[in-house]
Amino acid sequence: MSSKSPPIVNYIVRRLIFLVFSLFLASISLFVLLRILPGDPANALLSVGATPEQIAAAQHKVGSDLPLLQQFGKWIGQLLSFQMGDSLISNAPVGREILSRLSVTVPLTLTAFAIAVALAIPFGFIAAYKAKTWYGSILNSVSQLGMAVPVFWVGVILVFVFALRLRVLPAGGFPPGGWGDLAGAIRALSLPVITIVLVMSASLIRYVRSATLDVLNSDYLRTSRALGSSFMEAMWRHGLRNAASPVISILGIELATTFVGAVVVESVFALPGLGSFLVRGISQHDYPVVQGVLFISTLAVLTIGFLADLIQRFIDPRLSRSLTGQIS
């Protein structure tokens, strides 16, 4: 602020420092929770009644015989070089496996997110603008219902109808050739995407609706109309930017939640995504896998929050005027 750089640069730098700091905190917490609380990570390699020599060998392999501080240094070093160690079960490098699984989870999440947003904005607007009509209230009730429906239940019902009864789409799995088999991959992801879209757009409609209602009842819209702007003009010039701001921070949280929630959908449709990797890691006590996936997920959540904050600063007329303002 005392420096000469424009406020927006100042803000980005401050927010970036905050991002790195929270990532550092998160990796410490992950390390502490995973290494200190439970038993020795080497236990995953041992059967009941292992001899002391076997235990020592396993500990040496996992690295849990090193002092904690040294283990922590190793973990941070691994993160910085994007090497996450090897799986205790399959010995495959965790980093490479995560990348291959992201090639399923990221397209799944982003496609579903884009479609849900594209549906929620017009429908949310209609639900607010036509709140007093019958279809306005139906839209509202449907979106209320969407909040309550378990995503895996929707998945199971869709599998029942479209895969088992009508047999138009596969019930699950992903082509062994991955994205090399483009048609197969798209068919495999269709039902999962529809599942997420149904649940996510319902909850997004609610937020778009309430943001639009706030704008419709606002003084600035009334003033602008009184000064002679048409409704569309006033909405375009003032309403959109004001309504967008709260919606964007919700969108950030929703995207992060969907990225993590994809674990459930991946499980319904037996997709080889990041989430199923984590679930397998947890049930096999495969520490490098659990640690790696949880770190990548945290990184994604924090980065999405960072981007949402930046976009919000650019869009919101109140915030961009006070760009010197604080982080929260």
Residue 312 tokens, joined: 């919000």
Q: Measured from the CB of residue 281, what is the shortest distance to other proteins in angstroms?
A: 8
DSSP assignment of 56-74 equals: HHHHHHHTTTS-HHHHHHH
DSSP assignment of 91-118 equals: --BHHHHHHHHHHHHHHHHHHHHHHHHH
- Spatial separation of the C-alpha atoms in residues 278 and 282, rounded to whole Å: 6
Stretch that binds other proteins, among 5-13, 31-39, 54-62, 105-113 (CB under 8 A): 31-39
137 binds other proteins (CB under 8 A): no
Give the total residue count for the chain.
328
Kindly write out the interface string for residues 265-304 of this chain, putting x where it contacts other proteins by CB under 8 A and - elsewhere. Answer: --xx---------xx-xxx------x---x--xx--xx-x
263 binds other proteins (CB under 8 A): yes
| φ, ψ at 160 (rounded to 5°) | -55, -50
- Spatial separation of the C-alpha atoms in residues 61 and 292, rounded to whole Å: 17
Considering beta carbons, is residue 48 or 148 the nearer one to other proteins? 148
Q: Residues 20, 322: contact at Cβ < 8 Å?
A: no
Cα of 318 vs its chain's centroid, Å: 27
Considering beta carbons, is residue 133 or 144 the nearer one to other proteins? 144
Stretch that binds other proteins, among 67-75, 100-108, 156-164, 233-241 (CB under 8 A): 156-164
Q: Measured from the CB of residue 238, what is the shortest distance to other proteins in angstroms?
A: 22
105 binds other proteins (CB under 8 A): no
Q: Measured from the CB of residue 279, what is the shortest distance to other proteins in angstroms?
A: 5
**Of the residues 7, 8, 18, 186, which one makes contact with other proteins according to CB under 8 A:** 18
Give CA angle at 303 (178, 310), nearest 5°: 125
Stretch that binds other proteins, among 3-11, 33-41, 48-56, 72-80 (CB under 8 A): 33-41
CA distances from 132 to 138, 145, 203 (A): 10, 19, 20
State the residues that interact with other proteins by CB under 8 A. 18, 22, 30, 33-34, 37-38, 144-145, 147-153, 156-157, 159-160, 164-165, 252-253, 256-257, 260-261, 263-264, 267-268, 278-279, 281-283, 290, 294, 297-298, 301-302, 304-305, 326-328
